[in-house]
Chain A
């Protein structure tokens, strides 16, 4: 291949990427509007490839059975929801327990995304078994923060460090928190953990000469995470060390149009996320199902995490 051809190809590639990006940004709404047609008639999708973003096209056509990956639908809906005023969004999570295989990928995805230290977990997966052999059953229950509409954890905070934000997400202001753990005690779901300042690599032997030795690994652990869109390296006794910590539906991702880490890492597509104020959204469809339930509803906490059973 000549240099000229190379340059041309590179140029085409750049232009194509640029157009893809442009189309992706501009066509989120178009994609959503065309969504139903695309789902019902995949052949139309191929014919109309130019009206939707290439990324979505690829994803939509990648499934062997022609089914649309719900991640793409949720992404498109998320883009649309972000166009609305903040107060008009109502983020909810729906977890289909029938699809959860208990792989814990969401737990680990969350740990990696938020760089959670030992002893801090936002989304454990509970395992439940019942019955007597041979009539036994087993299910897995991922348990993120419920983002309750009536949260028991916020009024107990002595300094208003935890609160429900405009979008309905219960946040923790790390610089305000005094570390009394009253909110941990008040949460009926055990959804908060305290950061005691530990690291996974602490105390491990140093393997000299290896590229990925303890030093490098420890360095990675100390590098900032980006919860609440703030860079917070783990240094000394700086927050979030000493603070209450909890799931925040990956708000830092959601605000830039990315789905929460637990949603994207779910191999069974059991976790769904979106704006329940959009009547056409996937989550709105799901929470209207008769088989929907919420944990400890009797407490009146009005959780925003729904389970399909």
Chain B
């Protein structure tokens, strides 16, 4: 698996280089070159925020399997999962930070917050969650695999926070009564499941590619993660079906238009090919086959493909709902830059997102290669 790691290092470096343009443009020129705007108010970066934050929450929940619930099979995976949470949470926060018109005023959310705003609650929630991850890693680095009381207590707090923040971002969208397709109670309920699914997908990739435990344990772990993944993918598909069918059968035009935009709009391929075929059907086929799910390369790649599918799913939640005019005739009433209901991310947006992915990938790889307590995990488990 060293070759895979080398390939990932190269891809990470290339992605980071490609991302330099996006970072430069955003930090030194501003938001002029973005394609989101006043009508499609949230674009790729918000979708990526939901995506990365979901992985962080899901990864933390997986870490609790070792440190809180003490599941023997997951011994040795806790640090890897915590480190995954540690690199994906900043990736999420960079993505959403770049989306802010005045990032330099973020301190106001801490010192002058509106406590009833879900956005403020999320900022506070992620700050606490990030602190819990950091502290957990520090304690785990000090105490190795022993689940001390402090670690368990932190895991409990972190578990609750993981559910809170992942459900919270669902609510962040869902509370917008003006966006009929979001305004369903199901949204905050399904986001923690999506988060757990992405956490499991990443762990499947990590264990398959980098797991240094005994082969028998690794194979069992891959199998368990694969079964868990299949269950989560089926649950996700059921939730998607219930969401879409409810919207379509209710016949509310704004709802129906948004769902139609996802399934038959300009970016139908994002839904059918990325989200459904690559992100759901193909992985289910691979992972239910015992031999395939135990294959390191195949299982690892399947995890990545699932993550791509979930990335597309996040985008398909955010963009289409915003692509439906609030009032008929708005699209034609006044024209100008950033006044468009058709959204596809600009080159600069893609660049920055690719850079963030590269940054997170490199941070993860460097961590497991260089941080002593993460390297120790591998050797300890091997023993």
B245 proximity list for chain A (CB < 8 A): none
Q: Which of A120, A127, A178, A192 contacts B100 (CB 8 A)?
A: A178
Contact string against B for A residues 107-141, beta-carbon threshold 8 Å, 1 for contact and 0 otherwise: 10000000000111100111110000000000001
With A185-B41, A187-B178, A196-B31 known as contacts, the answer to whether A176 contacts B112 (CB < 8 A) is: yes
Q: Which of A119, A176, A186, A189 contacts B336 (CB 8 A)?
A: A119
Contact A143 B114 (CB under 8 A): no
Asked if A181 is at the interface of the complex by the 8 Å CB criterion, the answer is yes
Asked if B142 is at the interface of the complex by the 8 Å CB criterion, the answer is no
Q: Which of A118, A157, A185, A193 contacts B42 (CB 8 A)?
A: A185
Contact string against B for A residues 158-192, beta-carbon threshold 8 Å, 1 for contact and 0 otherwise: 11100000000000000011111110111111101
Docked CA distance A189–B329 (Å): 12
Docked CA distance A242–B101 (Å): 4
With A118-B336, A178-B101 known as contacts, the answer to whether A190 contacts B114 (CB < 8 A) is: no
B41 proximity list for chain A (CB < 8 A): 181, 184-185, 194
Asked if B119 is at the interface of the complex by the 8 Å CB criterion, the answer is yes
Asked if B328 is at the interface of the complex by the 8 Å CB criterion, the answer is yes
A124 proximity list for chain B (CB < 8 A): 330, 333-334
Q: Which of A125, A156, A179 contacts B333 (CB 8 A)?
A: A125
Find the A residue at minimum CB distance from B111.
A159
A213 proximity list for chain B (CB < 8 A): none
| Residue among A152, A178, A242, A295 with most chain B CB within 10 A | A178
Stretch at the interface among B12-20, B32-40, B63-71: B32-40
B108 proximity list for chain A (CB < 8 A): 159, 176, 178
Contact B338 A180 (CB under 8 A): no
Asked if A198 is at the interface of the complex by the 8 Å CB criterion, the answer is yes
A271 proximity list for chain B (CB < 8 A): none
Contact A177 B101 (CB under 8 A): yes
A156 proximity list for chain B (CB < 8 A): 117-119, 175-176
Would you give the shortest CB distance from B368 to chain A, in whole angstroms? 34
Q: Which of A118, A189, A244 contacts B326 (CB 8 A)?
A: A189
Docked CA distance A187–B175 (Å): 12
Find the B residue at minimum CB distance from A236.
B30
Would you give the shortest CB distance from A302 to chain B, in whole angstroms? 14
Would you give the shortest CB distance from A88 to chain B, in whole angstroms? 27
Contact A185 B176 (CB under 8 A): yes
Would you give the shortest CB distance from A117 to chain B, in whole angstroms? 9
A299 proximity list for chain B (CB < 8 A): 177-178
Asked if B251 is at the interface of the complex by the 8 Å CB criterion, the answer is no
Interface residues of A in 226-279 (CB under 8 A from B): 237, 239, 241-244
Find the B residue at minimum CB distance from A142.
B333
B32 proximity list for chain A (CB < 8 A): 196-198
Asked if A54 is at the interface of the complex by the 8 Å CB criterion, the answer is no
Asked if A42 is at the interface of the complex by the 8 Å CB criterion, the answer is no
Q: Which of A159, A193, A295 contacts B120 (CB 8 A)?
A: A159
Q: Which of B37, B42, B112, B119 contacts A196 (CB 8 A)?
A: B37
| Residue among A152, A179, A195 with most chain B CB within 10 A | A179
With A155-B117, A179-B100, A179-B102 known as contacts, the answer to whether A193 contacts B339 (CB < 8 A) is: yes
Q: Which of A107, A141, A152 contacts B178 (CB 8 A)?
A: A152
A127 proximity list for chain B (CB < 8 A): 329, 332-333
Find the B residue at minimum CB distance from A192.
B38
Q: Count the A-B residue pairs with Cβ separation under 8 angstroms: how many? A: 155
Interface size band for A: 35 or more
With A121-B339, A198-B337 known as contacts, the answer to whether A178 contacts B177 (CB < 8 A) is: no
Find the B residue at minimum CB distance from A118.
B336
Q: Which of B30, B114, B328 contacts A126 (CB 8 A)?
A: B328
Find the A residue at minimum CB distance from B341.
A190
Would you give the shortest CB distance from B37 to chain A, in whole angstroms? 7
B172 proximity list for chain A (CB < 8 A): 182
Contact A295 B337 (CB under 8 A): no
A186 proximity list for chain B (CB < 8 A): 175-176, 178
Asked if B109 is at the interface of the complex by the 8 Å CB criterion, the answer is yes
Interface residues of B in 48-106 (CB under 8 A from A): 99-103, 105-106
Contact B337 A196 (CB under 8 A): yes
Find the B residue at minimum CB distance from A181.
B41
Find the A residue at minimum CB distance from B328.
A128
Q: Which of B105, B123, B177, B326 contacts A190 (CB 8 A)?
A: B326
Contact A178 B39 (CB under 8 A): no
Docked CA distance A188–B322 (Å): 11
With A152-B178, A187-B178 known as contacts, the answer to whether A119 contacts B338 (CB < 8 A) is: yes
Docked CA distance A299–B327 (Å): 14
Interface residues of B in 185-235 (CB under 8 A from A): none
Contact B114 A160 (CB under 8 A): yes
Contact A121 B336 (CB under 8 A): yes
With A190-B325, A198-B32 known as contacts, the answer to whether A155 contacts B102 (CB < 8 A) is: no
Docked CA distance A222–B221 (Å): 62
A128 proximity list for chain B (CB < 8 A): 328-329
Contact A152 B177 (CB under 8 A): yes
A181 proximity list for chain B (CB < 8 A): 38, 41-42, 99, 101
A187 proximity list for chain B (CB < 8 A): 178, 326
* A/B interface sample: 13 pairs, CB < 8 A: A119-B338, A126-B327, A126-B329, A155-B116, A155-B117, A158-B119, A177-B105, A186-B175, A187-B178, A190-B330, A195-B101, A196-B37, A242-B30
Interface residues of B (CB under 8 A from A): 30-32, 34, 37-39, 41-42, 99-103, 105-106, 108-109, 112-114, 116-120, 123, 172, 175-179, 322, 325-330, 332-334, 336-339
Interface residues of A (CB under 8 A from B): 107, 118-121, 124-128, 141, 143, 152, 155-160, 176-182, 184-190, 192-198, 237, 239, 241-244, 295, 299
Complex A-B, nearest 3 residue pairs according to Cβ-Cβ distance, in ascending order: A179-B101, A242-B101, A188-B178
18 new A-B pairs (CB below 8 Å) besides A119-B338, A159-B109, A190-B326? A126-B328, A126-B329, A143-B333, A157-B119, A158-B113, A158-B117, A158-B119, A160-B114, A176-B105, A176-B112, A178-B103, A187-B178, A187-B326, A194-B41, A196-B34, A198-B32, A198-B337, A299-B178
